[in-house]
Each structure stands twice: as C-alpha cells, then as structure tokens.
Amino acid sequence: MGTNNRSRAFHDVPWKNLKDAGFPDRILWHRAAAARYPWYDISHGAGIFGTSSGGQSALGAVSRMR
C-alpha cells in the first residue's frame, strides 16, 4: 500500500503510519505467488534494505519474517 500510481486514499493509509507500510498485503501477495509458481521459493531469506522511512520499513519487514 502507498506505492506509486495509486489513488490519494491509497496513499493516505501509510501516511504518518510507517509501522504498517503495507506489509500484511505484501506478505499475502508473496505467499499467493509461491503457491502458484513452483519456482517462486519463499523459504529462503531475502535482501531487504532502505534509508530514512525505507530503513524503518526494512526493519519492520525483518521483524515480521517467518
């Protein structure tokens, strides 16, 4: 949520709410992709990085992994 090419209402969800950053939606998307495509392996780690609010989002992603 809150990514480019979205409506204003869509952007308003993460505005001043950096702890969310849309991770529940992204996690569901990756799980659905892994169920559909056998080559999409989510059992291994991923590279996560960011700076400023992206750094906070990266830390949030690492803390939600499992």
In degrees and rounded to multiples of 5, residue 32 shows phi and psi of -65, -40
Range of the domain at 58: 8-64
Domain annotation covers residue 57? yes
Domain annotation covers residue 43? yes
Q: What is the pTM of this model?
A: 0.53
Domain annotation covers residue 1? no
Q: What is the mean pLDDT of the chain?
A: 75
C-beta separation of 20 from 33 below 8 A: no
Q: How many domains does the chain have?
A: 1
Mean pLDDT of the 23-33 span: 83
C-beta separation of 57 from 21 below 8 A: yes
Q: pLDDT tens, 3-20?
A: 567 777 777 766 666 666
